Structure 1
């Protein structure tokens, strides 16, 4: 549903996937195979200990470029069986091929996913009319709610605000993971649609709330989920001082996790705290000793401990 004018009175806030979602890494065994037991254990930790309302599986942080379609389906089934009664499971299904994306969406629905994350088709840089067709085709393919993923610095093309407004007219397109880093564009769309915007950049979670977002799809939330939820709830309650204090505390973690490709350092940190992670798959490479030392310092600066 869209609004005709930007000065329409504020709507009731909708959070179709809660406040805090983590783009979960995909645990592998030491020889690089899918670690399904580890995935279930990690999912339980993220929901029960870190307060996540939903988990995104098979996203880029889950190394989706290097997992097979069959592995993706097995991962959805295992994570849904582990936490599906306590949290929603959102399946990343986006590719730069509409037919393949539809196939993954249908498979995700059959595997038990509660929602779909659909990234902008990358590298082939379709025009806005192509994006409109692509996202509509995926939303038409299942009965699941869809979260668009707008990340132009990786995809090569943004989802224009006008395209977002048109996509919002689809009953099953309900949310956006917003990694555009353009709060003006975010504000423009949130003022004109009922799309639930989730920050796709951890460090922008708090400022984005001020222009109408409802939560975050995070990476550092593997370790900061509970604190991030506290920050969002404080902002919602009008306690801006507490929200700002938590934001400032977490700044070193936001910086630290993204000194390298996020999944690399998340996996290193998970290994350090004894949670399932395993190696990354090529072409990614595991964190160096120097990177892990720096990450420990970043965590310590946020009063979080990363064991030696």
Structure 2
């Protein structure tokens, strides 16, 4: 005979998990009917020992054992509200503000409750600040490009600038050393106030990467136009083999200057309209990160060696990797729409 509770299918993984309200109801009902504990355990989806403990506890009138909590559910909810109001408060600030409201709890209790809420202390991800107008512009742009296919994005030449620095003596967060070796040269982590660095301008497309341009000073509009003529146009000719391509650039002052716009029009270069502060929409930003991660174990000693290392690492980027980044564009568009213009995980 199949019990009326058999179709509920309530099971709890683990022998030490507490009984649910439904399981307690099933056990109590079947116990009153005089059913054996083996049958009751099967219907409730629990072990026979769990059923026996529940029945014996009810018969003896004994409540659940264990130390009582020092805070109420209402006080716990107030702590969770404090966390949500300002995610940047440290544990000490949360504990102080919570106890000042009349809650009697230790710092460890505060920490335990915060962890029970599902929060953990992490390093925040840095994203560009977007105002309301910029979010709306991103959302509108994403909706306009929602139907673009990967084939259409493959005709776009993405460009961007990035800074590469020399990290002197980088040996990781920890080292192996013996007693008395703390000041040994081999055990020191060196630091410099102004490490040598290079600023780079580059392009990428679905076909791969091309020429890099090392920038010496702050780029003005005339400087940028020379970069376009000596680096962007040759790259486009080599990659696309025809003038039917779209050039992407951000809204830097040198890029949006009137003289730059005239130069692009004179050379019949179609420019992709681009929303402000939208590095998460540009796949070349991810490529810069990949190149920098590949250079972690490199130890250039000066700017010249740094340039050579960047060139070598950049040139070794496989076209398949660039193609994968381009195929992520539809997902980036969907992410912006879902976030209503706010920054995305990209």
Q: TM-score range by the shorter chain?
A: under 0.3
TM-score, structure 1 as length reference:
0.27
TM-score, structure 2 as length reference:
0.25
The structure whose Rg is larger is 2
